[in-house]
Structure 1
Amino acid sequence: MSGEWETDVLGRPFQSLTLPLGTDQEGEIVATLVRLEPPMIARLTGPLRDVDVLYLHGWSDYFFQVELGRFWTSHGARFHALDLRKYGRSLRPGQTPGFVTSLEVYDADIATALDAMGHGLDGAPSRRRLVMMGHSTGGLTATLWASRHHGRLAGLVLNSPWLELQIGTLGRQALSPLVQMRARVDPLGAHPVVDLGFYTRAQTEVGALPVRGYRREWRPERGFPTHPGWLAAIVEGHRRVAAGIDVGVPTLVMLSTASTNPFAWNAEMTGSDSVLVVDDIARAATRIGRDITLARIEGGIHDLFLSRPGPREQAYRALERWLTTGAIGRSRGSRRSRASG
């Protein structure tokens, strides 16, 4: 582990820690862990006072959702967010933003973060429950990670997870051979630009942007360029989900009630998901585990916690209800008993 916890770009009381991950052909690789500790009263009495949270961001993104972190800590949880390699705080000059050729590469980022949080496999087992939360591509990454690491999590929260390609299952199956072939021949080749900046515009119009510490260079208006090697990794992740996996823990999948055509601006983008086809994602969610709760948020945008105040409040209420009265809330007493025993 490199360095010490420092005041984060979001300002106090957020702190960040650089996690070295070695090197590749583009130089030094790091991940960055951001943390927020709960207030003293919540730490002692909150319903989630024995919970640690690890949040994974989406594509062309990084952690800046201050309100989300404070939601978790107000319930007593210790909140952590991970800027994965080549994203946000972890992006270094000369690197290809977000580029990987397999989503399993992020196992190293997550393992290093969990070790810093006190959930490493080499140390004594933690008596604290671990909940992972993922948004969009981070939701796909978290889902696949959970399916390979049974017993590590107490719960999984997915905010508009990218569980299926926007062209649907049949379209993905038809496209997959071409994607895989190009990934082998030209993994860093150029793709046509498909992000026209409308999603960022929608976030701005509903008042979600800008916020303190927001860095446009880490989250460009029209997103980062995509490449064949990266797209092949995404398509492979979608194939695994479609084939059926088991995350092994209670899971909350949160989605908007509606999607919008992303290629032409209209006012509906401020109250719907303009990135994913949410009904396809809802169907895909039935194939990731046995204890899945689906929450549909009317008026929500792609990141539900950046929606207008009304839908955003609905999203927080749905999350709070699942955490405190669902399987996570019910498991607290039994988990503490097993740990004491």
Structure 2
Amino acid sequence: MWGDVGQDWQPDVLGDRFEQLTLPLGIDGEGDVVATLVRHKGRPRLTPGLGVDVLYVHGWSDYFFNRELADFWTRRGARFFALDLRKYGRSIRPGQTPGFITSLDDYDADIEAALDAMGHGLPGSGADCSRGRPLVLLGHSTGGLTLSLWASRHPGRAAALILNSPWLEFQATGLARGAITPLVGLHARVDPKAELPSVDAGFYARSVDKAQSGYWEYNQEWRPLRAFPTHPAWLAAVLAGHAKVQAGLSIDVPVLTLISARSTFATRWSDDMLSSDIVLVVDDIARRALKLGPTVTIDRIDGAIHDVFLSAPEPRARAYAAVASWLAGYAPR
């Protein structure tokens, strides 16, 4: 399928329409490190269609499980892939610290392995099954931050970037980030894997989980109801990424940033949390998105939650319509 000679694609947990490929990345202090590439097996329609390849990257304490998102792209003529980064989801191995990383740049290896398998490897890599199809990057939350940094460092590789509530700034603003960064950095050097205090009350999971107030079923070992514990080295890596965004990136392709129309923060549950972002300050994200590159579109989706593609049906439909509208003007051909 799609020229994948020599690739050992296996059935995926999402069912018959999906396959997964393990991408070995070497060994670290916790053992074997792998990423996992998932692909939608549906054949893209030939005409009319986008004729692009899409690579999706998830956020913190998450993994890819959204079949509807894959269907959206395949119906439009795209080949859809999703990447579970090292130590997330399908890529977690026994004894590993979920999500642990000391630099977001380390994900370059995960992304390059995925692109090589997709046929978008570097010149000379031998991967040629893309047949010139443009590459669209799609990232959620921390995945949006990671892909933004990668696209800025690797001009000419992608043709478009779509961000779903990207974590481009610390929730307590840039001033607070500047104040805490030295303390976090010191803690990261002294005890990089210390467990930081949890601030997750489980409200976001409640807004997503079908068994509670949401619409989605997923593996709660890979996406816990309360997020994975965080660690100083990981937080230092994220804060360093935020600082780079504040300084300004140089993404040379059109960028679409989807965010909710508003944020809600409270210590007790309210139904407002079903129609707003309760993870990020969306106004701060909108401002930071303008630092990504020269061509940035910001679309604020009324009623959306933090992952706009996991929102209630009406705002979710508006989010997909926003992507379709943007593609009409900016889709690579």
TM-score by length of 1: 0.92
2:143 equivalent in structure 1: 138
1:326 equivalent in structure 2: 329
* Distance (whole Å) between structure 1 residues aligned to residue 13 and residue 89 of structure 2: 11
What is the letter of the counterpart of residue 32 of structure 2? E
* Distance (whole Å) between structure 2 residues aligned to residue 272 and residue 141 of structure 1: 23
* Paired residues of 1:59 and 1:137 also in contact (CA < 8 A): yes
1:337 equivalent in structure 2: none
Displacement of 1:53 in angstroms is: 0.4
* Distance (whole Å) between structure 2 residues aligned to residue 44 and residue 37 of structure 1: 15
* Distance (whole Å) between structure 2 residues aligned to residue 257 and residue 177 of structure 1: 33
* Distance (whole Å) between structure 1 residues aligned to residue 7 and residue 54 of structure 2: 22
1:76 equivalent in structure 2: 77
Unaligned runs of 5+ in 1: 333-341
1:181 equivalent in structure 2: 186
Residue 216 of structure 2: which of 209, 219, 231 is its match? 209
Q: How does 1:183-262 map to 2 (within 5 A)?
A: 183-204=188-209, 205-210=212-217, 214-262=218-266
Displacement of 1:265 in angstroms is: 1.2
Q: How many residues align?
A: 323
Unaligned runs of 5+ in 2: none
Structure 2 vs 1, CA of residues 59 and 2 (structure 1 numbering), >3 Å: closer, same or farther? Answer: farther
* Paired residues of 1:206 and 1:308 also in contact (CA < 8 A): no
Residue 320 of structure 2: which of 316, 322, 329 is its match? 316
* Distance (whole Å) between structure 1 residues aligned to residue 213 and residue 45 of structure 2: 33
* Distance (whole Å) between structure 1 residues aligned to residue 213 and residue 299 of structure 2: 21
Residue 279 of structure 2: which of 266, 275, 278 is its match? 275
* Distance (whole Å) between structure 1 residues aligned to residue 225 and residue 143 of structure 2: 19
What is the letter of the counterpart of residue 36 of structure 2? T
What is the letter of the counterpart of residue 252 of structure 1? L
* Distance (whole Å) between structure 2 residues aligned to residue 263 and residue 228 of structure 1: 24
* Distance (whole Å) between structure 2 residues aligned to residue 285 and residue 70 of structure 1: 27
* Distance (whole Å) between structure 2 residues aligned to residue 262 and residue 6 of structure 1: 43
* Cα deviation digits, residues 161-200 of structure 1 (max 9, x gap): 0000000011111111111111111111110011111001
1:338 equivalent in structure 2: none
Displacement of 1:262 in angstroms is: 5.0
Q: Secondary structure at the match of 1:173?
A: helix
Q: Secondary structure at the match of 1:326?
A: helix
Whose helix proportion is higher, 1 or 2?
Answer: 1
2:104 equivalent in structure 1: 103
Cα RMSD for the two superposed structures: 1.4
Displacement of 1:206 in angstroms is: 4.9
What is the letter of the counterpart of residue 190 of structure 2? V
What is the letter of the counterpart of residue 209 of structure 1? W
Displacement of 1:153 in angstroms is: 0.5
What is the letter of the counterpart of residue 323 of structure 2? L
Identity %: 59
Q: Secondary structure at the match of 1:218?
A: coil
* Distance (whole Å) between structure 2 residues aligned to residue 2 and residue 222 of structure 1: 39
* Distance (whole Å) between structure 2 residues aligned to residue 33 and residue 201 of structure 1: 28
Q: Secondary structure at the match of 1:152?
A: coil
* Paired residues of 1:129 and 1:154 also in contact (CA < 8 A): yes
* Cα deviation digits, residues 124-173 of structure 1 (max 9, x gap): 58411000000000000000000000000110000000000000011111
What is the letter of the counterpart of residue 140 of structure 1? L
Q: Secondary structure at the match of 2:16?
A: coil
